[in-house]
Amino acid sequence: MSNIAELYNRHCDELRRHLERKFGARTDEAEDVVHQAFANLAALGDPASLSNPRAYLYSTISHILIDERRRLTSWRRGVEPKLLTSQAAMNEITPERVVIAKERVALLSRILARLPYARRRSLLLNRMHGLSCAEIARRDGYSESAVKKHITLATAELDAGLADSDLRTVRRSIGTIAASVLAVGVALTAAIGWFVTSRPPAFAADYATGIGEVRDIALPDGSTMTLGARSQARVHFDSVGREVTLDGGEAFFSVTHDVRRPFVVIAGESRVRDVGTQFGVRRGSAVVEVGVLQGRVEVSKAESAAARTLLVPGQGVRANLHGDIETREPANALDPRGWRSGQRTYIDWPLREIIADVNRYSRQQIRLADPALGDLRLSVALRIADAQRVPGSIALALPVELEREAGGDVVIHARLARKTR
């Protein structure tokens, strides 16, 4: 997995520029093709067995782009379904038409199952759930034009499949068709029922924890979410996706992988898509942090397919609330075992973010006398479960002094400011 991440970071921009220069591909089109090529590489199981992964990627992106353009050209030349031979037949319900409709349901099921994942998902979100291309792009991290292409190509394949089957279907014997109208009706009902019941049920729930509370939450797909203290998350699952919005605090996810329904976490404008199994997300007052313990995750802006960052075990990133990645850092601080023990490690963190963390785990609150003190940066290991000792540790490391209030809260002042009072 680490090898794929290294290849992605090393060659992603180079491959995109090659497609733009040699084939005149648009930026969004090139990004989509490159992403598919890396998905193909990951599907090999052991990319290290390739003697020249770079050559494989160059060859793959060329084939993908040429194939996609050939399909799109065929569609634009006029692949159209011929479902009915006359307008009169459209209004007449007969045993023959019932059987034909049943067969079309089964055929559509087979064609949908063969579609590439991105095309099938975009088509279903658009046609069955009524989402616009812009909404699908925001959910899945593709550009809007890429979503339109997915829907166009998926529709073309469905239409082509139906058109190819029409002549075979209408040649069926009337005697065979009319054998049992009741049996036909039952079969058709069962086929339609399969489409309804085979889709996972919708699930939506809001979760919140109090000060010092850490909660393990079992999700309906078999995944688990560990919600840190004073954190809020909204969960929405449907037949084509699983989405968690982290409104504040921190959460750790152990995800049951489902290639048909990606698991996505939204925090501010950052979009974290699971490509593996275990990762953590923290949303502070001004930053979003992501860390991976097992598997892989992909981090990008919520509204854009560009600038995706692939993380492997032990890696993490810090982004601002606009989704712009600022730094890479180890993932240790997001291990939920640290939340339970109260031990946290901070490497070059702003003081305001450290205080915000500590305040979520203690009823004795820490405040800054001057908001500008929050810009001071600190590298320190703290036992946030022992709130009374935390301010002292901060005072030892920074030019500040403490004022303890009667209720147990602590106010942090700049050391010079206090001495001149």
Residues 18 and 143 in one domain: no
**19-33, 36-50, 259-273, 346-360: least confident range:** 36-50
Residues 48 and 94 in one domain: no
Picking from 317, 292, 315, 294, the residue whose alpha carbon sits closest to that of residue 307 is 317
Contact by Cβ (8 Å): 226, 217: yes
Residues 210 and 328 in one domain: yes
Domain boundary pick from 16, 49, 76: 76
Q: Angle at Cα 331 formed by Cα 364 and Cα 305, nearest 5°?
A: 110
Residues 209 and 323 in one domain: yes
Contact by Cβ (8 Å): 240, 123: no
Domain boundary pick from 13, 45, 76: 76
pLDDT of residue 246: 93
Average pLDDT over residues 23-45: 77
In a domain, 82, yes or no: no
**24-33, 239-248, 277-286: least confident range:** 24-33
Contact by Cβ (8 Å): 98, 182: no
Lookup: tokens for 107? 């055929």
Q: Which residue has the higher pLDDT, 388 or 207?
A: 207
pLDDT digits (tens, 9 = 90+) for 187-225: 444 444 444 344 445 788 899 999 888 888 998 888 999
Residues 319 and 392 in one domain: no
Report the C-alpha gap between 269 and 246 in whole angstroms.
11
Report the C-alpha gap between 29 and 361 in whole angstroms.
46
The answer on pLDDT for 182 being more than 60 is: no
Q: Which residue has the higher pLDDT, 4 or 165?
A: 4
Residues 55 and 151 in one domain: no
pLDDT digits (tens, 9 = 90+) for 395-413: 888 999 999 888 889 999 9
94 pLDDT tier (thresholds 50, 70, 90) = low
Contact by Cβ (8 Å): 184, 98: yes
In a domain, 375, yes or no: yes
Residues 348 and 237 in one domain: no
Dihedral sign, Cα of residue 170, residue 172, residue 175, residue 177: negative
Contact by Cβ (8 Å): 252, 216: no
Residues 331 and 383 in one domain: no
pLDDT of residue 413: 92
Residues 235 and 354 in one domain: no
Number of domains forming the structure of the chain: 4
pLDDT digits (tens, 9 = 90+) for 68-80: 777 666 655 554 4
CATH number of the structural domain spanning residue 103: 1.10.10.10
pLDDT of residue 368: 93
Picking from 231, 291, 298, the residue whose alpha carbon sits closest to that of residue 262 is 298
| Structural domain boundaries, residue 135 | 87-197
In a domain, 81, yes or no: no
Phi, then psi, of 115 in degrees rounded to 5 = -65, 145
Domain boundary pick from 175, 197, 219: 197
Report the C-alpha gap between 333 and 409 in whole angstroms.
25
Q: What is the pTM of this model?
A: 0.54
Report the chain's C-alpha Rg in angstroms.
Answer: 27
Residues 170 and 234 in one domain: no
The answer on pLDDT for 418 being more than 60 is: no
**54-63, 171-180, 332-341: least confident range:** 171-180
Average pLDDT over residues 18-44: 80
The helix (H) or strand (E) run that includes residue 346 is strand 343-350
Contact by Cβ (8 Å): 187, 102: yes
pLDDT of residue 410: 92
CATH number of the structural domain spanning residue 266: 2.60.120.1440
Picking from 234, 32, 15, 67, the residue whose alpha carbon sits closest to that of residue 140 is 32
Residues 163 and 227 in one domain: no
